Structure 1
Amino acid sequence: MAVLLEVIATTVADARLAAQAGADRLELVTGMGEGGLTPSLGLIEAVVAAVEIPVNVIVRPHSRSFVYDADDYAVMLRDVRAVKATGANGVVIGMLNAAGEIDREGLARAIDAADGLAVTFHRAFDEARDLRQSLDVLLGFEAVTNVLTSGGQPSVLHAEATVRELVQQAAGSQCTVLAGAGLTVDAIAGFVSRTQVDAVHFGSGVRVNSNGLAPVDADKVAKVRALLDA
């Protein structure tokens, strides 16, 4: 089976270009420079209307940390329900407690609000104290269908052994390890063959001049698609 290609979109134009060039799924965010924040309702609705491929929407109220207070949760749960109403495919969420563990109660509440939407746990995972233990926690939540990870490193290219272990740990479960952060067109083929990942996530790596704040480069997306299909 071909490796799934997810591309970050920050505008309707990004979404259209990525979809036309062969992305399988979009992660819709705003605030790329802050690691991705909840996009506006208008943007979510417009992107869902503009493309045929699944759109997963990040719900992250601020970039201070992944430890959230009661008010943050109130905002996130409202946003999750709003995303559900747009017809998007899923939400991308992540939350930790002060001890650096997955916040199970907060995750359960978000899953409840998502009401059947696909749930991706984002790179809050990489800031958890113990990645293997954290993945075990996520595998206990049936609704969590992806975990986005760079293997705990700033670039996933420096964490191939860890990613390979996580892929093995998740094998046969409902949860796919989605490898991202630092992937490039040049590195992708070797990375996939060494880690055996089933899904990859591109942001800056498929943008003009590899700049996270630049538009999607359709040629780069098409190249990655061709390499994954080969």
Structure 2
Amino acid sequence: MIVEVIATSVMDAIKAEKGGADRLELVSAISEGGLTPSYGLMKEVLKAVEIPVYVMIRPHSSSFIYTEADVKTMMEDIHIAKQLGASGIVTGALNERGEVDEEFLHIVTKHADGLGITFHRAFDEVTDQLGALAMLKTFPQVQRVLTSGGQGEAMDALERYSALVKQTEVSHLAIMAGAGLTAGILETFLKETQVNEIHFGRGVRESHDYRLPIDEHKIQEIKQICRGI
């Protein structure tokens, strides 16, 4: 089981690694769903930890439909993340029909050559998740999809997760669950869905508040639960 933790600072990253996180998603503006972190933050976090760091590539929170200028900005940020030693990026885009933007993915995979790719929760706004997943499976560089199963909370999408996991069973693509997961509900969630990657933001912070520090003991508890499944 892979446990990914959102980090917004160097201290977050250090605490997450100490708690046993397997991978970091590095973002700024966590209250807006995560935006691209600064050059300085990328550099210092990558110096501070040894676990893989995936950098959010998202220029704004207005929508997941991007202009040509947005895409140029995103490609520059991908180059920076790559130069600084990131293991991968977290990104995604939709077209005006509510589908995954396939042209965008072709551009991203070209520029991100050598980096892993997580397709983020833009996936939760597509009109047809199973159809979108079938298309994402055609991109070998896209390693996983971060999703809430199309619901506000992951626990409200147990059947959808099961369907998504089933569709990816014989592919390179993993389903990473996120949105409202905590140690208290984790065992039930994992047994019901069979996902093998899980993503935490508020669930590993003090008082489950994005504004408060990461609590490494919460990550340790989550890891212990995963070992027992």
- Whether TM exceeds 0.5 here: the answer is yes
Quick one: which amino acid aligns to residue 15 of structure 2? Answer: L
- Equivalent residue of 1:159, what SS? helix
* Structure 1 unmatched ranges of 5 or more: none
**TM-score of the two chains, using structure 2 as the length reference:** 0.98
Selected match of 1:51 from 46, 49, 69 = 49
Residues in 2 aligned to 1:130 and 1:213: alpha-carbon distance in whole angstroms: 34
Selected match of 1:189 from 187, 190, 193 = 187
Give percent identity, aligned residues only.
46
Q: Is the 8 A contact 1:29 1:36 kept in 2?
A: yes
Residues in 1 aligned to 2:121 and 2:164: alpha-carbon distance in whole angstroms: 14
**Superposed structure 1 runs of 4+ greater than 3 Å apart:** none
Q: Let me know the Cα RMSD of the aligned residues.
A: 0.6
**TM-score of the two chains, using structure 1 as the length reference:** 0.98
- 1:62-108: CA deviations, max 9, x gaps? 00000001000010011011111010100000000000000000111
Residues in 2 aligned to 1:11 and 1:22: alpha-carbon distance in whole angstroms: 17
Quick one: which amino acid aligns to residue 158 of structure 1? Answer: D
Correspondence for 1:165: 163
Residues in 2 aligned to 1:19 and 1:172: alpha-carbon distance in whole angstroms: 31
Correspondence for 1:104: 102
Residues in 2 aligned to 1:117 and 1:213: alpha-carbon distance in whole angstroms: 30
Structure 1 residue 175 and structure 2 residue 170: aligned?
A: no
Deviation (angstroms), 1:213: 2.1
- 1:25-50: CA deviations, max 9, x gaps? 00000001100000001111111111
Deviation (angstroms), 1:116: 1.5
Correspondence for 1:133: 131
Correspondence for 1:228: 226
* Structure 2 unmatched ranges of 5 or more: none
Correspondence for 2:204: 206
